[in-house]
Amino acid sequence: MPLYVVATPIGNLQDLTARAREILSTCDGVVAEDTRHSEKLLRHLGVRKALHSLPAFDEQARADGILSRLASGASLALVTDAGTPAVSDPGSILVRKAVAQGIPVIPVPGPSAAIAAVSVSGFPETRFHFAGFLPRKQKTRGEMLGELRALRSQLVFYESPQRLGETLRELHGALGDRTALVARELTKVHEELARGTLSELATRFAGETRGEIVIVVSGAGVPEAADPAELEQEVRDRLARGERPKGIAEALGPAHGKREVYQLALRLQEESD
């Protein structure tokens, strides 16, 4: 009856947990993103199981068949090609439907590339935001980067090697030249942790790159406190150009606080009258 959501290695087979091995050995069947891929893992474990396919492009349609097997009493283990199911991988639709039907869903945690990369970033922010793959459409991509820009959390992206250089350049443009980490081929023979600013990393990865990649970018810094004398001069200059306190507050409010700027502008206007 339960649906076990089982994390599998992201490269190094020794990272499969003892509990994952036990569940995969004792469950009634395995639900896999790609059955041929997961068959290799099961063979490595010496396990033979009925495999049910749950590809990302067809999860909605396939989920119901899997749910009826669970409802009829089978215990099934969901795995994806690598890492934790439902993290930029199929699984969330099946889990949602299972929850709605009152089927127990049990996590069997283990490797995930995002968590592995955050664990070695060394960045000061204690929080992180998992952004996954950026959308392909330029407009949606730009909007998402605009939203992420203000976050004080580390930002975690998945990216393909072909797009790495371009994406690093784009992140530099959208977020500023922040400190970042490119974590390539984690847990594998050619594991690489490349550190630097986004512009340095964009130069370094401008050419051809191979392997699987996580990018971690440090969060937005705490805005520097404005120099009161500079702010006052800016407001005086604007008043002198004929701008009104309300307009000045609108313009400078996002950086300095709308209310504070408005009151400062009113005071300076009165002084000059």
Residues that bind ligand SAM in the complex, under the rule CB under 6 A: 10-11, 80, 82-84, 87-89, 112-114, 158-160, 183, 185-188, 212-214
Least gap, CB of 187 to ligand SAM (angstroms)? 6
Q: Name the residue whose CB lies closest to ligand SAM.
A: 83
The amino acid at residue 235 is V
Nearer to ligand SAM, 113 or 264 (CB): 113
Q: How far apart are the C-alpha atoms of 84 and 250, rounded to whole Å?
A: 45
Residue 89 φ/ψ, nearest 5 degrees: -150, 160
C-beta closer to ligand SAM: residue 155 or 248: 155
> Which residue, among 160, 163, 152, has the nearest Cα to 129 in the 3D structure?
152
CB nearer to ligand SAM: pick between 28 and 185? 185
Q: How far is residue 179's CA from residue 191's CA, in Å, rounded to a whole number? A: 20
Sheet (strand 179-184) strand order: 128-133, 154-159, 213-217, 179-184, 192-197
Of 114 and 249, which has the nearer Cβ to ligand SAM?
A: 114
| 3-state secondary structure (DSSP) of residue 156 | strand
- What is the nearest approach in angstroms of ligand SAM to the Cβ of residue 112? 3
Q: How far is the CB of 101 from ligand SAM (least distance, A)?
A: 24
Tell me, what DSSP letter sits at residue 242?
A: T
Choose between 26 and 162: whose C-beta lies nearer to ligand SAM: 162
CB of 201 to ligand SAM, least distance (A): 15
DSSP three-state, residue 12: coil
Distance CA 155, CA 130 (A): 6
Nearest approach, Cβ of residue 24 and ligand SAM (Å): 17
- Nearest distance, CB of residue 74 and ligand SAM, angstroms: 24
Residue nearer to ligand SAM on the CB measure, 86 or 251: 86
SS3 sequence of 109-154: CCCCHHHHHHHCCCCCCCCEEEEEECCCCHHHHHHHHHHHCCCCCE
